[in-house]
Structure 1
Amino acid sequence: MNWLIHDYREDDLASVVHLIDSTAELGQESVFSLAECIGALTSRQPAVVAISGGVPIGAALATVSGTRAWVMRIAIVPGLRGQGLASALLKELERRLVGAGVRTIAYVLPEEELLGEGLHNAGYDRRPAVAYFEKSPARGTTRGRLEELGGRLLDNDLWAAVAGMEQEKHLIEARVVRPLAEPERAARHGVLPPRAITLFGPPGTGKTTFARAIASRLGWPFVELLPSRLADEGNLAAALRAAFAGIAELERVLVFIDEVEEIAAERGSAERPGMHGVTNELLKLIPGFREGEERLLVCATNSIRSLDPAFLRPGRFDYLLPIGTPDAVAREAIWSRFTVTRTDVDVRRLVEASELFTPADMEHVARTAAQAAFERDRSGGENGSVGATTEDYLAALALAKPTVTQGMLEDFRADITRHARI
C-alpha cells in the first residue's frame, strides 16, 4: 500500500484520537494516556499522520522537553501492522524532532514481566513493568563509525549564531535546509532535496561557518574530510574511498570538504600534476553518496575556477552558492554583536571603516580592540568603563589588512556570473 505522511493538522484531531483509542487494546499500548496524547496534539507538539486514499491510516506523536523528546504513541490501523508503516511514521517523526533541536529520543512502553512465585506469595501483585528505549541521532552501530571519522553532533544554536549575512542565510535556508528538513512537503511540490552543494567565495567569508550551521540546523552529525589529512595516509585516492565507505554506514550525515580544489583540481592542469586520478576518484564517489536520503555533501572553495568542470555539473552538485564579504547591513549586525556590552560604540563608523572586511577579519579586529581595553584596565586607566571604545576599534581597523582585495572581489563577481547556480 502507498501512503503519504504529513505534519499533524488541526482537522486531523478526531481521526487521530480515534486511531489511538481504537488501537489501545491491540498491542499498541502506551504509558501515556489518551488525555495526555490529546493534550500534546492540541498544544502543537510534534506529530505526523499517514494518509492513504484520503483516509488517515496511522499517526505518531511526541512531546518535547528541552533537547529530549518522548515518543507518546504510534498508532496504525490493524490491517497494516507489519508492512513498514510504523517504521515510516517513526522515521518521519524523528526528522521533525531532530529539526527542532532534539538530541535524545526516548520511547517508554508497558511490557509484561513475569514475577517470581515467591513475590506473589509474599503479597505482591503483578503489574506491568516498563521498557525504556532511547535513541540519539548518531546511534547504535553507527556511533563508533562516526567517531572513527572524527564526526560529531554540533550545538543546536549555530544557525542562529551566524550574525549578519542574512541574504546568504535566507538562500541556504530556502534551497538547502527546508527541503532536507521537510522532504515530504518538498516532494508534494516536486522539489528534490539537495544531496551536494558547493560554497565558493573569497577566503574568510564564513563558508565553514555556514557548513557547520547547516548541520546544526538539521541536527545531523558533522564530518569534515581534510584533504591534507587524507594525503598523509599516502594514497589519497584510496583514503577518499575508505572515508566514503565509512560515511555510507551512517544513517544521516553532513560531510564537509574545505579547500576542495586540493582534491578536485581541473584534470590536466599544469599547476596540479599527478592529481588526475584523485579527481577521477572523487567524481566516481559522489553519485554513490547522493543515493542516501539523509546525506548532504558540502564542499567549499576559494577558487571555483580551478575546479574540474565535470565536478561542477548539475548531476553532481545541486547548487553552487556564492558566499561573499558582508555588505553594510551584515557588517552592522556583526559589529553590533561584538559591541553589545558597550552601547556608546559608534557602530556606523565601524561599518564605514570595514568595507571588504570578512567576518573573520572583523573578529580579529574585535579581539585586538578588546585586548587594548584589557591592557588599559590593568594599568588603571579604564576609569570605570568596561570594554573597547569606538577609538579602540578604529585603531585596530587602521592596523588590520583585509583578507579580500579589490581584485579578488572583482574575480568573485565574475565567478558568480559564470558559475553560480542558485
Structure 2
Amino acid sequence: EENAPAIIFIDEIDSIAPKREEVSGEVERRVVAQLLSLMDGMSSRGKVVVIGATNRINAIDPALRRPGRFDREIEIGVPDSEGRLEILQIHTRGMPLEKNVDLGIIANMSHGFVGADLQAVAKEAGIRALRRVLPEIDLTTENIPSEILKKIIVTMDDFLDVIKEIEPSALREVFVEVPDVSWDDIGGLADVKQELQEAVEWPLKYHGLFVHSDATPPKGMLLYGPPGTGKTLMAKAAAHESEANFISIKGPELLSKWVGESEKGVREVFRKARQASPCIVFFDEIDAIAPTRGLGSESHVTERVISQLLTELDGLEVLSNVIIIAATNRPDIIDAALLRPGRFDRLLYVPPPDKEARIQIFKIHTSKKPLAEDVNIDTLAGQTEGYTGADIAALASAAVMLALREHIDKYKDPKKAELAKGELKIHMKNFEEAMRKIRPLSKHEIETYKNISEQFGKPGATKEIVDREAAIK
C-alpha cells in the first residue's frame, strides 16, 4: 500500500491458504484468516492488485474464491498444437538448427506438453548436439575455435530422441511409459486389431475425414476374454501406434477406505486425460471397481465409483480425443449400465489363439533365441491347443531355461560355459518338457468364455444385460 500502485504475486498459494477444515495446525488457520481480512480491507484501494498462482485449485480455502477477494479465476491450460509450435519457436530462436528440422512435427508429437516441458525438449536437444563435438573441444582454453562452433548443429533426430524421454508434466503422477509394442508384436487377433485401429488411430490420423463425414469414434472399448490372451498388450500397442499418451489404471488402485477418495481418484484420472489429450485411459481388471450394483456387497465404495465413472463417460464435460479401453476376464459381473452405447460402445472378445495365431506367437517369442534344427514351430503350434499368448511366452522362456541348465551342468565352470556359448541350442525336447509344466486352459474354461462372448455379441445383448440387472434389483 505504501508503494502503490503495486502487484502482490503469491506463488503456490495453496500452501499458505489451504482449506481450514482439512488442516490440523492452528497456525495455518490463522494465516488463512489473516489473508482473508487483509484482502477484504483492500477492496476500497484499487491500486494494489493481488495475483495468486496454484496448480491445486480445489485445495484452496473456498472463502478466498469469491468476488471481493479473488474476483477472477483464469485457467492456464495445456497448449494446443499451434501453441506448442510457437513455444518451440521461441526456445529454439538462437539455436543452430539443421535445415531438415521441422518444429511442426515435434509440436504434433508432443501432446500434453506444457511450456516448461517444451523448454526442456529444446535444452536437451541442444545438449545432445553439444555432446557430439565435446571430444574436439579443448577444455583448458577459454575460447573455442569458430570451426568447432560451426559443427554444433541440432538435428531432427536430436528432437525425436529427446521427446521419447521427457514425460508431460500433466501426466507425471500417473504416467506409464508405453512399451515399444507394435501390432507386429501381437500374433493373430486381426479382427480385434482392426477394431482398435479404427477407434484409436483413425480419429487422430484421419481427423479431416471424420469431420467431413460427421463420424463419431467410439468412446469406450471393453476387451474381455481368458487371462493371458493379450488384452493389456493390445491396449499398449494401440497407444504406441497412435502416438497418444497412455494412462494405465489397475482396478484396485482406485479403491480407498476413505469416503470420497475413490471417486476423487476417478475424477483426477479423467482430468489429467483431458489435459493431455489425445490420451488412452486403460482400466485393467475393471471388474474390481465396477461390479454389478445391488449384489449385496457390504461396501458402497464400488457403487460410488461406478456412478462417478458413468458421470465421467457421458457427463456434461465432453471427452474430446480421450478413449477409454478396459480389460477384464469377468465381463459377466460388470455393471450393465457401463455396457451400453455411449459408454463402452464396443465389446471385443479376445479369444485364445488358433493354430495360425499360435505359429505367429511362437515366431515372435523365439525370433532371437538359438533354436536347434529339430525345432518345428508348426508342430509346436499343433501341440499347444488351448494355450494363450502368455502361456506360449512362458513356454518359450521355460524351454530356454531348461537348455541353459543342460549347458551349465555340462561345463560347470562359468568361463568355459561362456566360451562354448555357440553350442547352446534349444531343442524340441526342451519345449516338450516345458509343456508338461505349463498347463493350457481347460475345454470347460474355453466353453465358458465362448458362451459369454455369444451372449454379448448377439443383437440386443445390451438390453438383455440391462434386463438381467433389473431382475437382480
Distance 1:253 1:273 in 2: 31
Asked whether 1:335 is paired with 2:373, we answer no
Partner in structure 2 of residue 415 of structure 1: 452
Q: Which of 232, 252, 268 matches 1:208? A: 232
* 1:186 has 2:210 as partner: yes
* 1:57 matched residue in structure 2: none
Corresponding residue of 2:150: none
Structure with a larger share of its residues in helix: 2
TM-score normalised over the length of structure 1: 0.64
Deviation at 1:373, TM superposition (A): 0.5
Q: Residues 271, 353 of structure 1: CA spacing in aligned structure 2 closer, same or farther, 3 A cutoff?
A: farther
> Cα–Cα, structure 1 residues 131 and 207, in superposed 2: closer, same or farther, change >3 Å?
closer
Unaligned runs of 5+ in 1: 1-30, 37-62, 64-68, 73-89, 99-103, 107-129
Counterparts of residues 4-403 of structure 1 (less than 5 Å): 70-71=102-103, 94=108, 143-149=168-174, 151-232=175-256, 234=258, 235-270=261-296, 273-274=299-300, 275-288=302-315, 291-340=318-367, 341-342=370-371, 344=373, 345-380=375-410, 385-402=423-440
1:307 & 1:361 partners in 2: Cα distance?
Answer: 26
Distance 2:165 2:212 in 1: 30
- In 1: Cα distance, 2:286 partner to 2:315 partner: 18
The code of the aligned residue for 1:224 comes to S
SS at match of 1:292: coil
Instruction: String of CA shifts for 1:282-333, please: whole Å, max 9, x gaps.
Output: 1112124982332111111111111111101101122111111111101001
Cα 1:421–1:283 shift into 2, 3 Å: farther
Report the residue type matching 1:298 in the other structure. I
Letter in structure 1 aligned against 2:172:
E
Deviations 1:55-99 (A, max 9, x none): xxxxxxxx6xxxxx6147xxxxxxxxxxxxxxxxx89x827x99x
Q: 1:368 to 1:342 in 2, by over 3 A?
A: same
CA distance in 2, matches of 1:143, 1:289: 26
Distance in 2 of aligned mates of 1:337 and 1:138: 25
**CA distance in 2: counterparts of 1:368 and 1:156, whole angstroms:** 24
The answer to whether the Cα contact below 8 Å between 1:138 and 1:251 also exists between their aligned partners in 2 is: no
Q: Residues of 1 paired with 2:389 and 2:336: CA distance?
A: 30
Q: Is the 8 A contact 2:255 2:289 kept in 1?
A: no
Maintained 8 Å contact 1:226/1:258:
yes
Runs of 4+ in 1 over 6 A off after TM superposition: 130-140
Change (3 A) 1:144 1:174: closer
**Distance apart, 1:417 and its partner CA:** 1.8
Report the residue type matching 1:376 in the other structure.
Answer: E
* Matched AA of 1:419: F
Pairs aligned (count): 313
* SS of 1:257 mapped into structure 2: strand
Q: Specify whether residues 248 and 190 from structure 1 end up closer, same or farther in structure 2 by C-alpha distance, changes over 3 A only.
A: closer
TM (normalized to structure 2)?
0.58
CA distance in 2 between counterparts of 1:138 and 1:293 reads 24
Shift of 1:259: 0.7
Percent identity (aligned): 23
SS in 2 for 1:163: coil
Contact 1:222 1:255 in 2 (8 A): yes
User: 1:257 corresponds to which letter in structure 2?
Assistant: F
SS of residue in 2 equivalent to 1:248 = helix
Q: Which has the larger radius of gyration?
A: 2
**Matches of 2:97 and 2:428 in 1, distance apart?**
58
Partner of 1:13: none
Q: Is the 8 A contact 2:352 2:386 kept in 1?
A: yes
Q: CA RMSD in A?
A: 3.9
CA, structure 1 residues 139+182, in 2 after alignment: closer, same or farther (shift >3 Å)? farther
SS of aligned partner of 2:362: helix
Per-residue CA deviation, residues 23-60 of structure 1 (Å, 9 max, x unaligned), is xxxxxxxx999xx8xxxxxxxxxxxxxxxxxxxxxxxx
Deviations 1:325-374 (A, max 9, x none): 11110100111223333262111221122111111111111111100100
Whose strand fraction is larger, Structure 1's or Structure 2's? 1
Structure 2 vs 1, CA of residues 289 and 272 (structure 1 numbering), >3 Å: closer, same or farther? Answer: farther
CA distance in 2, matches of 1:32, 1:246: 33
